[in-house]
Chain A
Amino acid sequence: MSPVADPFVSVTITATPQHVHLLRTVAAGVAARLDATLDEIEDLRLAVDEAAGRMLAVGPASTLSLAIDPREHRVQVRVATDGGVDGWSPATEHGSFGAQILSALVDDLAFTDDDGHPSVTFTVPLGSSRDA
């Protein structure tokens, strides 16, 4: 159960709200194997849900993707779509309700439109069970 041995996980699904639960489930599965507590897993699930919701709200897209990169005592998460960023900017996104929820749940929250597609990255601390 060493977290370092767990590989980087990446999933791409059709960009529709009906499939977002798959991303939540994957995130929970990865976190569970990193010795995350239920509280940590629940926060991660809520965060992935919220992030996916924000990305889908940017505009039409065909795919929605989730990448989880386990680090020491935390996971780095990236949620993105392959859609455009017309009329959307990371700056205005930061004032949204979704961003407020996210910033309460995660660390290092950042929205970008670097590659012409919207994405959000954040980290979630895990493994408080090992500190105790």
Chain B
Amino acid sequence: MSDEPPVRSADTTAVDADDAEAIAEAARTANADEAWVAERFSRRADDGGARDDLVLRFRPLADYLARRFSGRGEPLEDLQQVASMALVKAVDRFDPDRGVKFATFASVTIVGELKRHFRDTGWAVRVPRRLKELSLQVNSVVRDLGQELGRSPTVEEIARRAEVTQDDVLEAMDASEAYSTSSLDAPAPGGDEQMPGIDPGDEDETYELIEEWASVAEELRRVPARERKILYLRFIKDRSQSEIAEEIGISQMHVSRLLSKTLARLRESAGAQEGSEA
């Protein structure tokens, strides 16, 4: 990295020295054909295909970094989603004229977003290690059992498979909720993020939600696309949380967290309105 100028991520998230090694290694691993990359960036503005090429080409880089951050209490699938969102952001914001390699810029951006994810969830500081590990374990058992049974598992089934007590399972569920509320007041900057697999511009879905919940129409428009999608699937399409988790590609724990967080936000907005009308 010594031959490159200092680099900032797509936003201003600070990346400290500890991450420098991961970033350097990831950027090396990406080993991209610079001419190929430059050619795609030259067409990025008016050719969606070029943009998709870049995202696809660097997806392994995002996965690699997500794995570097796994084992710290967050499910790998959630980290992978954070990383691929960051990659899309990096592709959109990269400035080829700055003399920085895209792989480096993307790595810095992805590491920044992953760190912010941990900071926003508050996992790292508040929840004891035992509970984090328990939550991770429960989470993966929930996914496996869900696929085997073709329905959402019971707490007893989860406990038996994970070889823990039912109280442990309930405690793990509580812990995952405890760290959700800490991020209540910290909505992700940037708001409506482009999400892989999610079309943020699905006006029909937003419209249906607003028709259903006219009293919070304004706030609904400000809710990030992924959260709005979850509301739509849960309340308009009547899908269960586990079905939504599968469709969006995040853990059920994460769906549960996002749902309570978003409902609290809407409730607050509705409360303010109903209060002013009274």
Name A's B-contacting residues (CB within 8 A). 1, 21, 24-25, 28-29, 32-33, 35-43, 45-46, 49-50, 53, 57, 87, 96-98, 100-101, 104, 128-129, 132
- A36 near B155: Cβ-Cβ < 8 Å: yes
Closest to A31 in B: B155
Closest to B242 in A: A39
Q: With A33-B166, A41-B155, A100-B212 as known contacts, state yes or no: A25 contacts B240, CB within 8 Å.
A: no
Report the interface size class on chain B.
35 or more
Q: With A21-B177, A38-B142, A46-B260 as known contacts, state yes or no: A96 contacts B151, CB within 8 Å.
A: no
Name B's A-contacting residues (CB within 8 A). 142, 149-158, 166, 169-170, 173-174, 177-178, 181, 212-213, 215-216, 234-235, 238, 240-242, 252, 256, 259-260, 263, 266-267, 270-271, 274, 278
Task: Classify the interface of chain B: helix, strand, loop or mixed.
Answer: helix
Closest to A35 in B: B154
- B240 near A39: Cβ-Cβ < 8 Å: yes
Of the candidates A45, A50, A53, A97, the one whose C-beta lies within 8 Å of that of B213 is A97
- B266 near A32: Cβ-Cβ < 8 Å: no
- B274 near A96: Cβ-Cβ < 8 Å: yes
- B270 near A96: Cβ-Cβ < 8 Å: yes
- A97 near B235: Cβ-Cβ < 8 Å: no
Q: How far is the CA of A64 from the CA of B174 in the complex (A)?
A: 20
Of the candidates A32, A36, A46, the one whose C-beta lies within 8 Å of that of B263 is A46
